[in-house]
């Protein structure tokens, strides 16, 4: 066996430390942790709306509807459509709702964005109710009841000025 010198022992010891240190660094373990969380979605509330009566409608004309509207949701709501059939004719006589010629705008010319948590506001919505030239003569002076449905969805768009 060969003779060990202080120098060769120091060299071997240094090599063992370097290799051992590299091994220790290589032996580090990665740790990934996971956690479970329960998320509960909120619920959307209906936008509340009431409409004022419309009067003086004649064939070929349209009229605005003034509504009181509020949004209690914690998000903005964009109203894009208003639908509503004529559901009854008060004291209709020979006029029934299918002969009224009254139609409700389906698509709003410009969507209305209600701010989140918006208290009741009164706004006019133009050209919602129209009477076509197909209105029967027997429907003159009659009172028609309509039921509006506002169609909308949550949005990140800014509220229409005055509706926040």
Task: Sketch the domain layout of the chain as residue ranges.
Answer: 48-155
Return the bridge partners of 139, or none. Answer: none
List pLDDT tens digits, range 2-53: 565 655 555 555 555 555 555 555 567 888 888 888 888 888 999 999 989 9
Does the pTM exceed 0.85? no
**pLDDT at residue number 119:** 96
Element (H, E) at 116: none
Cβ atoms within 10 A of the Cβ of 154, count?
13
Burial pattern 76-94, b for ≥16 Cβ within 10 A else e, equals bbbbbebebebeebeebee
**pLDDT at residue number 71:** 96
Mean pLDDT of the chain: 84
Over residues 156-164, the mean pLDDT reads: 92
List pLDDT tens digits, range 94-104: 888 888 898 88
Tell me: pLDDT of 157 over 90: yes
Query: Could you tell me which residue, 104 or 85, shows the higher pLDDT?
Result: 104
- The pLDDT-based confidence of 120 (bands split at 50, 70, 90) is very high
Q: What is the CATH number of domain 48-155?
A: 2.60.40
Please give the Cα distance from 142 to 139 (Å, whole number): 5
Q: What angle do CA 72, 44, 113 make, to 5 degrees?
A: 60
Please give the Cα distance from 98 to 136 (Å, whole number): 9
């Amino acid at each position: 066996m060969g003779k060990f010198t202080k120098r060769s022992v120091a060299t071997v010891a240094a090599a063992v430390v370097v290799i051992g240190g590299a091994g220790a660094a290589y032996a580090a373990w990665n740790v990934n942790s996971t956690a479970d969380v329960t998320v509960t979605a909120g619920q959307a509330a209906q936008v509340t709306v009431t409409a004022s009566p419309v009067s003086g409608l004649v064939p070929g004309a349209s009229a605005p509807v003034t509504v009181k509207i509020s949004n209690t949701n914690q998000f903005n709501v964009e109203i894009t459509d208003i639908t509503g059939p004529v559901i009854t004719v008060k004291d209709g006589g020979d006029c029934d709702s299918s002969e009224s010629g009254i139609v409700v705008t389906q698509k709003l010319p410009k969507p209305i964005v209600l701010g989140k948590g918006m208290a009741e506001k009164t706004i006019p919505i133009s050209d919602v109710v129209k009477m076509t030239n197909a209105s029967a003569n027997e429907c003159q002076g009659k009172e028609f009841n309509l039921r509006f449905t506002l169609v909308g969805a949550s949005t990140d768009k800014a509220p229409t000025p005055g509706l926040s």
